[in-house]
Amino acid sequence: MEEGAVGTDEEGAGRLLIIGLTGPELDPEAEALLHHVDPLGVVLFRRNIQSVGQLKDLTRRLAEFRPDMLIAIDHEGGRVHRMPPDFTHFPPSLVMARNGDPGLMREVAHAHAAELRDAGFNLTFSPVLDVHTNPANPIIGDRAFGTTPEEVVHNALPYMQGLAEGGILACGKHFPGHGDTSVDSHLELPVLPAATHPLERLRTLELRPFARAIAQGVPMIMTAHVICDALDPKAPATLSRRVIEDLLRTELGYDGYVVSDDLEMKAIVDHYSVGRAAVMSIVAGCDGCLVCATPSRIYEAHEALTNALESGEITIASAANAARRREKLLAKSRRLARIPITAGAIGAAAHTALSSRLRGEAVVA
């Protein structure tokens, strides 16, 4: 097949997936999974990371599997920190943002990018662009960069810029907004009623950081497993063409890469099979989907996507658009890879001092 062509074979299906692995090594089962699915990328979690040396060996082997492999992690600071103790552990985004200094957010992103690059990553699923408007929100909270759209824009966009300058792809999340939910989508499906979240409110509050990030060129956006009644009362945003194609693509004009949140979260699997959800997400306008934990579900998603490509449920036009955006994302990744890696970045003294400063701790010279 010619480079850039869109096929209906297993390679085409695999490139619609970013998957998780079960352990810290590429054992025979993990290698078989990678060879069968041939995913666009792999996302790592705490279960995959034991030490800096082991992590670097794992990311090196993943990069050897395919040179353009996306190697991703959720790396935010605060409670979303998967790394061993050697890495600098920054405070939560909301704590860092209290300084009101966008330059510091950019500096933090530089530090994050340097340490991630040193460890072999090229993509982080950050920044969070949700607006923290609900103090009882069990999943976003201090992961947000502010309690108003203006604060999120003021702090998250410089952070996003710093990631790019440090050579790491950014991903804004969770579209169209997870900041005012009262339940955790890892555990159940949140619903935002139209009475409290009409379209006018969504446009002026939840959507504003995403619109600004789009204007700044965010390369990837992750969807939320949230039902917004004002947009689509029947399907979560991840699976809704009204949300992805009509709102994000057409109204907000986003032509970058859209990835689903993990399809194994209970907000999805309590209502859909992973295979069905994978197909629905691509039909809705996503370019790829995350299946992060269970090999059998990864195989299921791969088979369902293969069948949907062959049957035409995922149309030639949809597959072609996904392939075009995927190549644009990979081209940006290749450009960022030219930025030199900083040896010894992990746990650097300057990063530790910056983290202490942001926590309000005294820094010993």
User: Which are the catalytic amino acids?
Assistant: 186, 261
d(CA 133, CA 88): 29
With beta carbons less than 8 A apart as the criterion, state whether 283 and 311 touch. no
- What is the C-alpha to C-alpha distance for residues 124 and 166, in angstroms, rounded to an integer? 12
Residues sharing a CB contact under 8 Å with residue 175, sequence separation 6 or more, in sequence order: 129, 210, 221, 222, 223, 224, 237, 243, 248, 258
Contacts of 291 (CB under 8 A, 6+ apart): 17, 18, 19, 20, 262, 263, 264, 274, 278, 297, 298, 301
Hey, which residues does 18 pair with through a beta bridge?
41, 290
On the CB side of 108, how many CA atoms lie within 13 Å of its CA?
A: 33
Distance (Å, whole) CA 48 – CA 359: 28
- Nearest-angstrom CA–CA distance, 17 and 162: 27
Rounded CA-CA distance 293/289 in Å is 13
3-state DSSP helix/strand/coil % of the chain, to nearest 5: 45, 10, 45
Nearest by Cα to 174 from 156, 196, 162, 201: 156
